[in-house]
Amino acid sequence: MDYKEFFTSLFLWLRQQESRNGGIFTREELSKGFLYKDKTITLVGPTGIWIPKGFEVPVSITTTASGPYEDDFSTDGILNYRYRGTDPEHRDNRALREAFRQRTPLAYFHAIKTGRYTAAYPIQIINDNPDQLFIEAAIDPAFYLQNQTVSGFTDLVKDNENIFGVRQYLTRLTKQRLHQAAFREFVLDAYNRRCTICRLQHPELLDAAHIIPDADEGGEPVVPNGLSLCKIHHSAYDQNIIGITPDYDLRVRTDVLEEIDGPMLEYGLKSVEGQKIILPGRKQDYPDKDRLAKRFEEFKSVG
């Protein structure tokens, strides 16, 4: 087995899937795996350290759901992952040790809820602690450098001789990506996977919109700061063409209401004036009224 070639194919496949699934993998999808050289390779299995048939190293490590936005990366970019059981010589633990010895990467699937995962990759095992029954791993900078997936990363590596600084940078980007994917999943679930304005129920056309932007105070990635919106209404909300009052009423900017264009403007935007948004099923997931009020003031200042 050419592990370098295999894992390169795996990581490219994961990236392609993320462009389709919003960064959330189902257990079923990972269990089915992907096709590599006319052979299906499963990516998860009954154990958290997954070693497909014919492999001597794991292809992935997996966590169980413990909370919507938690992850196991420390602030310095280290992922601590526990051995299976208490025997360092268990087959799964020896396979982790072999991955460390061969310097092969792997994928890390973090469960945000039962059967739903975000993916961090490639993970490189950087230290093995058999006496304490855990390994330490980190995002592999070489993969990003080779594939140029991070803007400006080449310059960062040249300018920063401290690998810990590079690792922290990549970990921060990875955590942001995982949190965004998890935020979308929880918001769409809260709204029964439909647009809160037009009721569109195609998840591939839905976004989790922030009421308060994530860069601002109060912009935390939590469901009460989110709205499930189709891409048209998300853009309209971000551009203050549509506003939402603290009482969940929809408003359309005056100049837009006065425009005469085509059916999209007439039925997709102007017709929502005065209507109510669709609320989540659970009251605890309702849009936060204080956040809506703050955002609505911005809408009024524009219109």
Give which of 182, 145, 135 is closest to 167, Cα–Cα.
145
Per-residue pLDDT, 72: 65
Domain architecture of the chain: domains with CATH: 3-184 (2.30.280), 192-302 (no CATH)
Give which of 84, 77, 88, 78 is closest to 62, Cα–Cα.
84
The segments of the chain whose pLDDT lies below 70 read 66-72, 75, 142-167, 303
Distances (CA, A) of 22 to 28, 47, 90, 118, 204: 16, 25, 36, 10, 8
Per-residue pLDDT, 166: 67
* β-strands 60-62, 105-113 pairing: parallel
**Could you read off the pLDDT of 2-54 as tens digits, one per residue?**
999 999 999 999 999 998 888 999 999 999 999 999 999 999 999 999 999 99
Per-residue pLDDT, 177: 79
Per-residue pLDDT, 171: 74
Instruction: Indicate the pTM of the whole model.
Output: 0.78
Per-residue pLDDT, 144: 54
Q: What angle do CA 103, 106, 112 make, to 5 degrees?
A: 150
Per-residue pLDDT, 215: 84
Give which of 107, 128, 98, 291 is closest to 212, Cα–Cα.
291
- How many Cβ atoms from other residues are within 10 Å of residue 208's Cβ? 25
Give which of 167, 179, 176 is closest to 75, Cα–Cα.
167
Per-residue pLDDT, 194: 97
**Euclidean distance between CA atoms 145 and 152, whole angstroms:** 10
What Rg, from alpha-carbon coordinates, does the chain have? 23
Per-residue pLDDT, 151: 45
